């Protein structure tokens, strides 16, 4: 599946941790653990943040397989999204009304989703 984070107001990844986030990117947990020597110098909170956004997945034989693709529709450039291992969508092309009411098609629009927490069923 795909998670699109629609945040047209967002212009930076983080004012405080941006440099570290760009060094780490957004990946599944095993991506970091199986290359620990490369990432161990980064703050653990940054690595945790990267895994929280990407969710579950695997990293085997140099190939990362995430359960979901995460795409940003924000002011963060396509090039920066690629550096972060995220997809990019031009926020000017997003029509939220076109996404509403399409649950039967597998499309779920959650307004202000960043204000809610969800638990994945096992």
Classify residue 120: in a domain, yes or no.
no
pLDDT of residue 118: 66
Phi/psi of residue 107, nearest 5 degrees: -110, 120
Q: Is the dihedral of CA 66, 72, 73, 79 positive or negative?
A: negative
| Cα gap 77→96, rounded to integer Å | 20
Is pLDDT above 90 for 113? Answer: no
| Section 75-102 average pLDDT | 98
Classify residue 27: in a domain, yes or no.
yes
- pTM for this prediction: 0.88
Classify residue 53: in a domain, yes or no.
yes
| Section 32-50 average pLDDT | 97
The CATH number assigned to the domain holding 16 equals 3.90.226.30
Classify residue 121: in a domain, yes or no.
no
Per the prediction, the chain carries an average pLDDT of 95
Domain containing 101 equals 2-115
């Amino acid at each position: 599946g795909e998670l699109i984070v629609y945040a047209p107001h967002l212009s930076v990844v983080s004012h405080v941790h941006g440099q570290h986030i760009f060094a780490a990117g957004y990946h599944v947990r095993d991506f970091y653990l199986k290359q620990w020597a490369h990432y161990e110098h980064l703050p653990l909170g940054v690595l945790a943040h990267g895994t929280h956004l990407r969710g579950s997945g695997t990293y085997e034989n140099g190939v990362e397989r995430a359960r979901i693709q995460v795409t940003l529709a924000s002011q963060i450039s396509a090039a920066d999204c690629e550096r972060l291992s995220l997809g990019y969508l031009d926020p000017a092309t997003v029509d939220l009304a076109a996404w509403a009411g399409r649950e039967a098609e597998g499309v779920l629009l959650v307004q202000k989703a960043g204000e809610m927490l969800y638990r994945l069923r096992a």
